[in-house]
Amino acid sequence: MHQSPQSASDVAATLFRQAAAAGRGTLDSTELNALLTSLGIAFAAEPTAELRPSAVDLRISLNNTREFGMVISAGMGGQDADLDEGNFRKDRASVYAATELTNAADFLGLFKRTLAWQRLAAIARRDGLPLPERQLAACFEALLALAATYAPGKPNAPFVLRNLELNPAHAGDRLIVRQAQCEFGAARAVRLPRPIGKIEKLIHPQSIGIIGVSSTNMNFGRIILKNLMGSGYAKERMCIIRPGETEIDGVKCVESLKALDHKLDLLIVAVAASAVYELVDEIIETDSVESVMLIPGSLGETKASREPAAALAERINAAHGKPGGGPVFLGANCLGVVSHPGSYDSWFIPLERLPKPQKKAERNSVMLSQSGAFMITRISQNPWLDPRYMLALGNQTDLTHGDMLSYFAELPEIETIGIYIEGFKDLDGLDFARAVRKAVVKGKQVVVYKSGKTAPGMGGVMGHTASIAGGPILFESVVRQAGAIVAEDFNSFDDLFYIAGALHSKKIGGNRLGAISGAGFEAVGMADFIESDTFAMEMGALQAGTVTQLEEILLAKKLNALVEVRNPIDINPGADDEAHLQIVEAFLQDPEIDAVVVGLDPTAPSVRALESSKLRPGFDITDPKSTVHLMPPLVARNDKPVIGIVDGGQLYDAMSARLMDQGVCIFRNCARGTKALVRYVEARLYADALRTRN
């Protein structure tokens, strides 16, 4: 029987003090034995009779990571532990979780995805032995308790645990560790919390000031001023800080920050990087601003600027310890903010280069991006995403990914949050993971893409926003376990962010798919893409009543001799718009179907898919019998997800756009649509489980 977590923590404290007094940051074998014994784990450096010849080598560890703090991991041990995890499917070699966001039972469930567990299970079946679930759960529980005491950021903690690795460990009648190592160190100070409530002033400012507006040239500051006015922000609520001028473009000017007659909600700084250091000190000293947007690049992004930029960040951090918390800073190297509720656009991209038409009556999403260009290209190519807010974080001199997500996780009107990340500040990955979990438990969906997956990619990140890109496997594992949907590339980010917004109000009742198309390759293709590395949907078995209903539809459409009723179903190119949608409705009414993907077959001669038909005038998307007219009400009255596939070229852009504008989730090929649905269903089912536990 192992001791209580408190007694194990006390033992660890004594051992750490003892080793530190001897000038060591590691525990020796005697100390390791004492630590593991206090955790209820047997330590046997030499082989014992309990170890079977077929014992599976496991590696179980706690690691203090820069981004996520304490992380627990488990997987293949011994020589297998050195194999490149990139050679395996996700969660097969090892699994990871932030210790704060998991428990022993959940982590055991995660561990059961690994090859190590599969080997344990196979040997247990062969030898007629019970599975070592109890032993592993007890080990995970003990390690999580130790991590809770010696994680970074704990107030008044004299030590932090840097690493505790058990490798190899063998799970039989009890857990036996053959080799172990433990490193610890002194606790380090962490940044003060930012007053994130002031993000409200940043996105809904009642007053805006700008520094860096030229009175003669169209510089960045002048472009920002034009965009503010062009997006509807009232001139009377703006001012320009520029000595020697009374007004520019109808906006009043003041001599300096000290000359302001009221405290600004937002100050936009668009000056040369070299002028920022002194200006930030003035902003802090005058206490004249609630939030600041730092546009200039190169702060902390070049070798020469890193030391002064770090000192600047320290001064901003120190201000957060003063009464009122000081101002919050967005950036530097920041494109700006688009806030539709705040009625302003501060991007320094001229509006004529990036039209942002409203595609939704009510925007319900947010896009946060470390790179402004990432947002520009995504919105330019996918205007239907149309977020309520778009914020560029730049190099996170002050406000971080964790801060932003923590704030938006609390806004009830926000349903979907899309985030592009290049790197985290120290421990901000943990803040971010906490915010992901909070957002998901509150019913929101978080879609994340992180760059820097390769060594050259990490180097590019360092040169762009002065952030350190952590390991991609660790990042994805921890953030996915927190509840986020992690995209593999730009296209999957677009797809997942879109589908999350389009299907947010739909019910996800399970993993049974219905697939319909008039193109044989497409119906088969849908079935081919129902599995990911970590999840699989299945083709639902149609009930007898549904089969009868489908046979009647096919008979009425004179397709009964051409089509076999099954799932997936190929309904023949002769099926018209109405036939497609009647079959979709029948699938949706079947209790054995949880979601439907339907190929809308735009090139089929019987489908009204053209914007205008020369051969058959009126036989187009303006026809009341067209899919464009019939599908939106079908989607609206059913609470199960429906994905429409319009696989065709530019001729069918109008059909797609009209359907999307009416709330129908449309993809332009079955592979992307089905893959996105599978990922989305997995995330929604996991989110439901998280909400149930919380």
pLDDT at res. 561: 94
290 and 418: one domain? Answer: yes
Burial degree of 437 (CB within 10 A; 0-12, 13-18, 19+): buried
CA atoms within 13 A on the CB side of 397: 35
Q: Tell me the pLDDT band of 466, cut-offs 50, 70 and 90.
A: very low
Binning the chain into helix, strand and coil, the percentages to the nearest 5 are 40, 20, 40
Closest CA to 24 of 187, 183, 188: 183
Contacts of 636 (CB under 8 A, 6+ apart): 663
**Average pLDDT over every residue of 210-227:** 94
Average pLDDT value for the chain: 92
The pLDDT tens digits for 498-539 are 999 999 999 999 999 999 999 999 999 999 999 999 999 999
Contacts of 589 (CB under 8 A, 6+ apart): 546
pLDDT at res. 553: 97
Q: Which element (helix H / strand E) includes 381?
A: helix 372-381
Q: Does any domain span residue 191?
A: no
pLDDT at res. 352: 73
490 and 516: one domain? Answer: no
Q: What is the residue whose two structure tokens read 């967005």?
A: 330
Determine the 3-state secondary structure of 645 from DSSP.
strand
**Average pLDDT over every residue of 255-278:** 95
pLDDT at res. 1: 42
315 and 389: one domain? Answer: yes
Closest CA to 597 of 587, 611, 605: 587
CATH code, domain carrying 60 = 3.30.470.20
Q: Tell me the pLDDT band of 459, cut-offs 50, 70 and 90.
A: low
Three-state secondary structure of 503-543: CCCCCCCCCEEEEEECCHHHHHHHHHCCECCCCECEECCCC
Whether the pLDDT of residue 408 is over 90: the answer is yes
Q: Does any domain span residue 42?
A: yes
CB atoms within 10 A of CB 240: 24
pLDDT at res. 465: 43
Whether the pLDDT of residue 455 is over 70: the answer is no
521 and 539: one domain? Answer: yes
153 and 288: one domain? Answer: no
283 and 348: one domain? Answer: yes
Q: Does any domain span residue 673?
A: yes
Higher pLDDT, 358 or 157: 157
Q: Does any domain span residue 57?
A: yes
Q: Does any domain span residue 178?
A: yes
pLDDT at res. 345: 92
CA distance 600 to 597: 10
Domain ranges, residue 65: 5-186
Higher pLDDT, 47 or 370: 370
Q: Tell me the pLDDT band of 453, cut-offs 50, 70 and 90.
A: low
Q: Does any domain span residue 88?
A: yes
Domain boundary residue, one of 137, 164, 186: 186
**Average pLDDT over every residue of 16-38:** 96
Q: Does any domain span residue 372?
A: yes
The pLDDT tens digits for 614-646 are 999 999 999 999 999 999 999 999 999 999 999
Q: Tell me the pLDDT band of 605, cut-offs 50, 70 and 90.
A: very high
Whether the pLDDT of residue 462 is over 80: the answer is no
Whether the pLDDT of residue 467 is over 50: the answer is no
Whether the pLDDT of residue 173 is over 70: the answer is yes
Quick one: what percent of the chain has pLDDT higher than 70? Answer: 94
Contacts of 660 (CB under 8 A, 6+ apart): 359, 384, 666
Contacts of 685 (CB under 8 A, 6+ apart): 508, 510, 511
CA distance 394 to 295: 9
Measuring CA to CA, how many Å separate 441 from each of 434, 466, 514, 686? 11, 32, 28, 10
pLDDT at res. 214: 95
216 and 164: one domain? Answer: no
Whether the pLDDT of residue 469 is over 50: the answer is no
665 and 517: one domain? Answer: yes
Domain boundary residue, one of 136, 158, 186: 186
pLDDT at res. 37: 94
- Do the Cβ atoms of 355 and 345 come closer than 8 Å? no
165 and 205: one domain? Answer: no
Q: Does any domain span residue 507?
A: no
CATH code, domain carrying 345 = 3.40.50.261
552 and 485: one domain? Answer: no
Contacts of 170 (CB under 8 A, 6+ apart): 51, 55, 56, 57, 58, 176, 177, 178
91 and 235: one domain? Answer: no
- Looking at the 3D structure of the chain, how many domains does it have? 3
First to last CA, the chain: 30
pLDDT at res. 6: 52
- Alpha helix ranges (H) inside 409-489: 428-441, 455-465, 472-482
Residue 196 falls in which region: left (phi positive, over 0), alpha (psi -120 to 50) or beta: alpha
491 and 538: one domain? Answer: no
Q: Is the peptide bond before 350 cis (omega within 30 degrees of 0)?
A: no
Quick one: what percent of the chain has pLDDT higher than 90? Answer: 83
Domain boundary residue, one of 502, 522, 550: 502
Closest CA to 598 of 574, 573, 562, 570: 570
Q: Tell me the pLDDT band of 66, cut-offs 50, 70 and 90.
A: very high
Whether the pLDDT of residue 468 is over 70: the answer is no
Strand bridging mode 485-486 / 175-177: unpaired
